[in-house]
Amino acid sequence: MPIATPSQTIGPFWHLIDDPEWADLTRFGAAGEQIVLTGIVTDGLCQPVTDAAVEIWQTSPEATEVFSGYGRCRTDLTGGFRFKTLKPGPVRGLGNVLQAPHVAIRIFARGLLSGLTTRLYFEHEPLNQTDPVLSLIDDDERRRTVIAQQVSPDVWQLNIRLQGDGETVFMEI
Partner 1 sequence: MITETAPFRPIVPRSQPANDTPSYGSTRLRHPMRPALRIPHSVTETTGPQFAASRFGARTDLSMVAGGAAQGERIILRGKVVDENNRAVPHTMIEIWQANAAGRYAHPGDQHDAPLDPHFHGGGRVFTDADGWYQFTTIKPGAYPWRNHDNAWRPNHIHYSLFGTGFGSRVITQMYFPGDPLLALDPIYLATPDPDARERLVAKLDLNITVPEWALGYRFDFVLRGRDATPMEQA
Sign (positive/negative) of CA torsion 85, 90, 39, 17? Answer: negative
Instruction: Give the range of 29-37, 79-87, 89-97, 149-157 binding partner 1 by CB under 8 A.
Output: 89-97
59 touching partner 1, by CB under 8 A: yes
What's the number of CA atoms in the CB half-sphere (13 Å) around residue 46? 2
CB count in 10 Å sphere of residue 125: 15
First to last CA, the chain: 20
Q: How far is the CB of 104 from partner 1 (least distance, A)?
A: 5
Q: Are 103 and 119 in contact (CB under 8 A)?
A: yes
Q: How far is the CB of 103 from partner 1 (least distance, A)?
A: 9
Task: Considering only residues 121 through 150, tell me which ones interact with partner 1, judged by CB under 8 A.
Answer: 132-133, 136-137
Q: How far is the CB of 153 from partner 1 (least distance, A)?
A: 25
Give CA–CA dist 119/49, Å, rounded: 18
Considering the complex, state which of residue 151 and residue 167 has its C-beta at the smaller distance from partner 1. Answer: 167
Give CA–CA dist 92/60, Å, rounded: 10
81 touching partner 1, by CB under 8 A: no
Q: Are 95 and 88 in contact (CB under 8 A)?
A: no
Considering the complex, state which of residue 50 and residue 149 has its C-beta at the smaller distance from partner 1. Answer: 50
Tell me how many degrees the CA angle 140-101-40 measures, rounded to the nearest 5.
Answer: 65
Q: How far is the CB of 2 from partner 1 (least distance, A)?
A: 4
106 touching partner 1, by CB under 8 A: yes
Binding residues vs partner 1 (CB under 8 A): 1-18, 28, 43-45, 47, 49, 51, 55, 57-59, 63, 65, 68-70, 91-95, 99, 102, 104, 106, 108-117, 119, 132-133, 136-137, 162-164, 167-173
